[in-house]
Structure 1
Amino acid sequence: MTKIYIVRHGETDWNCEGRLQGGTDTTLNDRGKQQAIVCSNYFKDLNCDAIFSSTLQRAMLTATLMNESLKLSLIPLTEFAERTFGVAEGMTYEERVQMYPNKDYPNQETIEQLKNRISIGLKKIKTQYPDGNVILVTHGAVIHTLFTMVENAEIFPQSAQLSNGGVSIITNHHGKWWLDKYNQIKHLPK
């Protein structure tokens, strides 16, 4: 059985400003770096085999800072980069609602394209670690979309906010992915 601990990257300035990041390659702020370091404590006794990460620097830096104490193989996967949102990237929530009230952003990646990427990434992880425990550092829209793809998707409310540094868990049983827990945050500072 493959178990994936999914971590949302640490905080960025754009997170604080409510700006849509998407494929824009932002980096962690000081609080985000601290979240990443503290997040490694969640995993210290779990015997994980590897860390996979989105290739965007906010996720890679989160994984790298976590890995300073974990000392695991760190494997970048483009399949888990954040969904691209076209012209809406960099806009605040208010700007997006005013210009695109239906969230139909020009040049954004479709949900179907994103789901296809995520499926490919999950297959890669399951193939490499068919009986392993791994960490995956990725992004909010990727995690939300992934949770619509699991067998028990109904346990995750799509309106739920995912915390920077929050940990969720999915497992693969007989070729199907199941959500075990989502947005665990007890390990994070207040």
Structure 2
Amino acid sequence: MSERPTIYFIRHGETDWNLEGRLQGQQDIPLNDLGRVQAEEAGRRLKGLVPLFEDLDYVASPMLRTRETMERLREAIGLYPNYYRLDERLVELTFGSWEGMTWKEVRKQEPQLAVLREQDKWNYVPPGGGESYAMLADRVRPILDDLTRDTVLVAHGGVARAFLAVACHVSTRHAASIDIWQGKVLVIEGRSYRWA
């Protein structure tokens, strides 16, 4: 038996800033049309994975893109859209003054800082009040202890990377760069994970 409840982690659907490669961080950007479809697809995948999906706990980051993803996925599987909890600790890490920029723009405007981040993505803190993955991991770690039953978490790519490092012991170097897919379900069981 797993040491903790299973987590069904769903990254929010695509936004226009995702499409443009912009760093969203804590900017409250809504889903685009593809993102809405991805949210519904994630719901269908979840329904196929968990026969008693209505018995799961449902928790989302309070940001607009995650709330809309949660509501669309719940509606897609026949649950009341608004019946879920919010947890502030699930908010995306902030990129500080880099938010709204693309990585290409960051590399052009602040090449030395971009190189420093590439050398140690996990621990690098972006300028202007940014947050490192290490700081994010400290913020989300207590969530694992708070889980009392199998749970659907709708949050962000950075948060998923932090969970993989904290819950599954993925190396911080690998976790900081792993692709987190939209429209799919990241199943975290004990210390293992898989995509569904």
Q: Which residue of 2 aligns with 1:111?
A: 133
Q: Which residue of 2 aligns with 1:175?
A: none
Taking the aligned partners of 1:88 and 1:70, their CA distance within structure 2 comes to 39
CA shift for structure 1 position 109? 1.7
1:95 aligns with 2:113: no
Q: Which residue of 1 aligns with 2:184?
A: 166
- Unpaired stretches in structure 1, ≥5 consecutive residues: 173-177, 185-190
Matched pairs, number: 173
**Greater helix fraction, Structure 1 or Structure 2:** 2
AA paired with 1:147?
L
1:59 aligns with 2:72: no
The structure 2 residue matched to 1:137, chosen from 154, 160, 173, is 154
CA shift for structure 1 position 37? 1.1
Instruction: Give the structure-1-normalised TM-score.
Output: 0.82
AA paired with 1:181?
R
Taking the aligned partners of 2:33 and 2:133, their CA distance within structure 1 comes to 32
Task: Classify 1:27/1:44 alpha carbon distance in 2 versus 1 (closer, same or farther; 3 Å).
Answer: same
CA contact (8 A) 1:23 1:81 kept: yes
Q: Which residue of 1 aligns with 2:85?
A: 75
AA paired with 2:60?
S
AA paired with 1:179?
S
- Unpaired stretches in structure 2, ≥5 consecutive residues: 118-124
**Greater strand fraction, Structure 1 or Structure 2:** 1
Taking the aligned partners of 1:149 and 1:81, their CA distance within structure 2 comes to 16
Describe the SS at the equivalent of 1:67. helix
Taking the aligned partners of 1:151 and 1:144, their CA distance within structure 2 comes to 10
Describe the SS at the equivalent of 1:2. coil
The structure 2 residue matched to 1:19, chosen from 18, 22, 26, is 22
CA contact (8 A) 1:153 1:179 kept: no
CA RMSD of aligned residues (A): 2.1
CA contact (8 A) 1:171 1:180 kept: yes
Taking the aligned partners of 1:181 and 1:140, their CA distance within structure 2 comes to 15
CA contact (8 A) 2:6 2:150 kept: yes
AA paired with 1:108?
G
Residues 2-53 of structure 1, C-alpha deviation per residue, up to 9 Å, x if partnerless?
0110011100000000000000111100000011112111122412312111
Task: Classify 1:62/1:151 alpha carbon distance in 2 versus 1 (closer, same or farther; 3 Å).
Answer: closer
Task: Classify 1:113/1:152 alpha carbon distance in 2 versus 1 (closer, same or farther; 3 Å).
Answer: closer
CA shift for structure 1 position 144? 1.1
CA contact (8 A) 1:10 1:164 kept: yes
1:2 aligns with 2:5: yes
Taking the aligned partners of 1:111 and 1:53, their CA distance within structure 2 comes to 19
